[in-house]
């Protein structure tokens, strides 16, 4: 499978621009760059540097000296944030080079796309799913010519400098080139890239009546419509998904479906696009997928509607993709294995087995936290009719050798499916927001 990549210009994007960067003492990494590159690493992107090196053509730097400089740069990035560059490509040529053997028009010197194309072939990169980030329009031109899906100009370098041209690309052509978007720096560009990638859908399991909290709902509303700090639980989920760039939301319905549909409509009032599926009889956690099969054509996040969570979905999805996983389960250490499903994993966090409630500590202390990222391939493991992820689907995937992983996090995820747990979650959010529930927000017993 071809890889996604982010191609980076060096000077003005990774390190501060200088008149002539010929020594490690000239290397000044720009603020936020190591962390931004690490974020791309974690998201599963190849990170490739493509840089024109006219200093070599002018005889001010040797290729060996450039290698030493780049070794220093890589060591600094790793030391500062654990960031890794997957490749550095440079062009030593210049049409007016002082070094005669380097005096030539070539395909590798930007604005020509040669370096990007060479890197794409060497690293099995799909340019149409990749990005170019540079400070000059010559970088943008190279990215567009190579077929990159988005070409981002950053303002942290010499973006207003005289355009770099070649015999086949005129100054007018470069000047006429428009970036797809302009960002302040690499940090902002990476944030944009991740948002662009987060176009997947999410499913919020919302069909349950909430028998254990019926004394609070008075059977007037579904449990996902219980109020917390002035708004329904389901609204907290939708806003959390939207914050992480997910606007296409699937919601299954069963008990009092009109309460949910009347409040959220098509989702436009909340900046989302909501699709519903009504289940005449409950289909179970995994069975809910049956009603949305035609919509599940890409990575899907699955929330249990009665579990409040504050998980960083971008990191979660990036981890899932970096593992090449078909299903990834959020897991957390538990001190009550008898009360949850225990997820047994190996040293690489690949799931070995799922042990249903009551769990057993001999298989570890990682409990299922009921938040998943899945791929469309999961659909082929759905039995007909009602079914459950833990009981029916994940065991079949493991038996078939599919890659299933655990994602360990200490972020807040809390079941609010009992009166005591609902009260605790409610208090947490009301204390954080300074919002207390009013009589108007309590379920109407006569509804």
266 in the same domain as 156: no
Catalytic-labelled residue, pool 11, 135, 139, 341: 11
* Number of separate domains in the chain: 2
**447 lies in some domain:** no
pLDDT at 309 over 80: yes
CATH number, residue 425: 3.90.550.10
pLDDT of 442: 35
189 in the same domain as 231: no
Which one is predicted more confidently, 335 or 285? 285
pLDDT at 158 over 80: no
295 in the same domain as 185: no
Question: How confident is residue 447, by pLDDT bands cut at 50, 70 and 90?
Answer: very low
CA 343 from chain centre, in angstroms, equals 23
- Boundary-marking domain end, from 163, 196, 229: 196
133 in the same domain as 214: no
- Boundary-marking domain end, from 168, 196, 224: 196
pLDDT digits (tens, 9 = 90+) for 357-390: 887 788 999 999 999 999 999 999 999 999 999 9
**446 lies in some domain:** no
- Mean pLDDT, rounded, for 204-215: 88
**347 lies in some domain:** yes
CATH number, residue 119: 3.40.50.1000
- Boundary-marking domain end, from 134, 161, 196: 196
Does 341 qualify as catalytic in the annotation? no
304 in the same domain as 350: yes
CB 4 within 8 A of CB 126: yes
278 in the same domain as 143: no
- Mean pLDDT, rounded, for 332-357: 91
- Mean pLDDT, rounded, for 326-351: 92
Question: How confident is residue 411, by pLDDT bands cut at 50, 70 and 90?
Answer: very high
Does 306 qualify as catalytic in the annotation? no
C-alpha–C-alpha distance, residues 208 and 317, integer Å: 26
- Mean pLDDT, rounded, for 388-403: 97
pLDDT of 198: 67
**357 lies in some domain:** yes
232 in the same domain as 118: no
| Range of lowest pLDDT (126-135, 178-187, 196-205, 431-440) | 431-440
pLDDT at 162 over 70: no
**11 lies in some domain:** yes
208 in the same domain as 123: no
249 in the same domain as 397: yes
Instruction: Quote the domain boundaries for residue 39.
Output: 5-196
Averaged pLDDT of the chain: 90
C-alpha–C-alpha distance, residues 96 and 106, integer Å: 12
- Mean pLDDT, rounded, for 41-48: 92
Sign of CA dihedral 264, 265, 270, 274: positive
pLDDT digits (tens, 9 = 90+) for 257-304: 999 999 999 999 998 999 999 999 999 999 999 999 999 998 999 999
**23 lies in some domain:** yes
pLDDT digits (tens, 9 = 90+) for 64-100: 999 999 999 999 999 999 999 999 999 999 999 999 9
Tokens of 8: 């980076």
CB 330 within 8 A of CB 372: yes
187 in the same domain as 234: no
pLDDT of 65: 95
For β-strands 327-333 and 366-374, DSSP reports them as antiparallel
Question: How confident is residue 167, by pLDDT bands cut at 50, 70 and 90?
Answer: low
234 in the same domain as 204: yes
C-alpha–C-alpha distance, residues 310 and 306, integer Å: 13
pLDDT of 435: 53
Q: What is the pTM for the complete model shown?
A: 0.62
Catalytic-labelled residue, pool 9, 135, 139, 341: 9
177 in the same domain as 295: no
């Amino acid at each position: 499978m071809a890889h996604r990549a982010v191609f980076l210009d060096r000077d003005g994007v990774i390190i501060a621009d200088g008149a002539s960067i010929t020594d490690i003492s000239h290397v000044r990494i720009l603020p936020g760059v190591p962390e931004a590159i690490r974020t791309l690493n974690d998201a599963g992107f190849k990170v490739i540097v493509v840089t024109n090196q006219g200093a070599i053509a002018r005889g001010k730097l040797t290729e060996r000296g450039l290698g030493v400089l780049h070794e220093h740069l890589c060591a600094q990035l790793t030391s500062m944030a654990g960031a890794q560059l997957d490749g550095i490509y440079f062009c030593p040529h210049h049409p007016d080079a002082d070094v005669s053997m380097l005096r030539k028009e070539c395909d590798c010197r930007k604005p020509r796309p040669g370096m990007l194309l060479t890197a794409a072939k060497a690293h099995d990169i799909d340019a149409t799913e990749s990005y170019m980030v540079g400070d000059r329009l010559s970088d943008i031109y190279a990215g567009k010519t190579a077929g990159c899906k988005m070409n981002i100009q950053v303002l942290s370098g010499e973006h207003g400098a005289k355009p770099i041209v070649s015999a086949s690309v005129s100054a007018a052509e470069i000047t006429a080139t428009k970036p797809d978007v302009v960002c302040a720096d690499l940090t902002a560009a990476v944030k944009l890239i991740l948002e662009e990638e987060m176009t997947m859908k999410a499913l919020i399991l919302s069909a349950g009546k909430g028998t254990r909290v019926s004394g609070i709902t008075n059977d007037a509303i579904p449990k996902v419509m219980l109020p917390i700090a002035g708004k329904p639980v389901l609204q907290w989920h939708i806003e959390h998904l939207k914050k992480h760039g997910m606007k296409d939301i699937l919601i299954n319905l069963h008990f009092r479906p009109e309460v949910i549909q009347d409040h959220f409509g098509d989702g436009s009032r909340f900046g989302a696009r909501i699709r519903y599926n009504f289940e005449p009889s409950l289909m179970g956690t995994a069975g809910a997928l049956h009603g949305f099969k035609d919509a599940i054509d890409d990575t899907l996040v699955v929330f249990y509607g009665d579990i409040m969570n504050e998980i960083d979905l971008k990191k979660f999805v990036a981890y899932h993709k970096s593992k090449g996983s078909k299903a990834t389960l959020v897991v957390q250490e538990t001190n009550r294995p008898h009360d949850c499903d225990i997820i047994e994993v190996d040293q690489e966090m690949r799931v070995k087995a799922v042990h249903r409630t009551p769990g057993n500590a001999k298989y570890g202390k990682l409990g299922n936290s009921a938040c998943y990222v899945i791929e469309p391939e999961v659909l082929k493991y759905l039995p007909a009719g009602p079914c459950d992820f833990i009981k029916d689907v994940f065991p079949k995937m493991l038996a078939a050798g599919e890659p299933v992983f655990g994602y360990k996090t200490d972020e807040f995820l809390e079941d609010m499916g009992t009166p005591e747990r609902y009260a605790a979650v409610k208090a947490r959010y009301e204390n954080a927001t300074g919002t207390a529930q009013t009589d108007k927000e309590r379920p109407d017993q006569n509804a």
